[in-house]
Amino acid sequence: MVTVEAAGVRVPAWRGGFGRLWSAAVLSSFGDALRTAALPLLAATLTDEPLAIAAVTACGYLPWIVFGLLGGAVADRVDQRRAMWTVDALRGLLVAGFAVAVALGQASVGLLIALAFALTTLQTLFDNASTALLPALVDDEALGSANARLMTGQKIAGGLLGAPVVPLLLVVGAPVPFVADAATFLVAAALVASLRTGAPTRKPRPAGSTLRREIAEGLRALAGDRALRGLCAATALCNVGVGALIATMVLLVTDWIGAGQAGFAAATTAYTVGSLAGGALNRRLVSRMGQVRAVLLAGTVQIGALVVMGTVRSLIAMVAAMAVFGLMGMVWNVNTTTLMQQRSPADMLGRVSSAFRTLAVAGAPLGALLGGVVATVWGRGTPALLAAGFFVLSVASLTPALKPDVPVVAPQDGAATAHVTR
């Protein structure tokens, strides 16, 4: 593992494998953005049924709920590096096959749904393996910086570069975004395969151990750590609110504010720019406040941003609120991921990660439905206020994580003042 010292803070070095992992992650995010933007556009050319089009998006959530825990258990059993490059190679072949179907005029809504479901199912293994692999490439003290760099790079590739390129690629031909996505998967697979991390060291599994029992162990480990338990509950509540906001954002901006599609593009771009600023600001916040309090601050500030979105009918206010919301969202995401990596037992990180993600993601579909209902009954601005209410509950659920027997930062950060029993 390689790190360098920068102004007294340990940061990940690009050599030693982290640079290749970062490049693979950023390249995959670029390809994902191409596919994510192209699929709904393609679906709209195949059907005018809103439910059928929505089903394509829904399949992006369903595999996490169905297979998320299983993906984490498998990630703890296998060589994570090998699992990642194998999954990326499979995803590349799947998307390449889909591109051929589009080129031949054989695409259908059913095929789109099957593709979305298959890709996300494979992602449940990939994401959990990736979370578990990073500590093998970066020292514990540099995990926060490594996660910030990964997430910032992915946000640039996906939010600023990927989606705007799709209309240009579609002019060339409908299959082109999917061909490009397949290529990014295959190159990312080659980059991850070139990592030299060595075989993971794990305790022998007890006789008779089953995937079901190992999944239960991961859930118990998550429930047994006060900080992670609080963060998981808080993230799940946040995602209910985020689901409500995302599902109705286009109505909020184009209808309630009356800013049209250009206003919607400005709001989403502001969110991405704010996220990039959050990645740069995170290390300074953590050095002053610690990780848990940085998350608490992020959630509190996001409540204010949501209230502005739901009460001020101004595009300028919306753009500013979305930038703040994105900034603090990045702070939240970086620190929850880092705390999970630092506080989980090394041989259970995949399972703890999958339990955390599955429980957190489950709130988003519920939030989307609630957002649609309140927007219909009480008006287009109310989903943002509903989201603010869930963020208030989220911040309240973080209180146990601030009690004395839970360090403000993880023990590896060198700032813990009390012993932690996991």
pLDDT digits (tens, 9 = 90+) for 90-144: 999 999 999 999 899 888 888 888 888 888 888 888 887 887 788 878 877 778 8
Mean pLDDT lowest among 32-36, 207-211, 364-368: 207-211
Averaged pLDDT, 181-202: 81
Say if residue 47's pLDDT is above 60.
yes
Residue holding tokens 């880092």? 338
pLDDT tens per residue, range 350-368: 888 888 888 888 777 788 7
- 48 or 190, greater pLDDT: 190
Assign residue 203 a region (left: φ > 0; alpha: ψ between -120 and 50; beta: otherwise).
beta
DSSP per residue, 8-77? TEEEE-STTTHHHHHHHHHHHHHHHHHHHHHHHHHHHHH---HHHHHHHHHTTTHHHHHHHHHHHHHHHH
pLDDT tens per residue, range 274-299: 998 998 898 899 889 888 889 999 99
Average pLDDT of the residues of the chain: 80
- Whole-structure pTM value: 0.73
Averaged pLDDT, 264-273: 85
Helices (H) and strands (E) in the chain — how many of each? 16, 2
Say if residue 65's pLDDT is above 70.
yes
- Ordered domains of the chain (ranges, CATH): 3-194 (1.20.1250.20), 224-410 (1.20.1250.20)
Counting residues of the chain whose pLDDT is more than 70, the rounded percentage is 83
Contacts of 63 (CB under 8 A, 6+ apart): 117, 120, 121, 123, 124
CA 422 to chain centre: 25
Does residue 201 sit in helix, strand or coil? coil
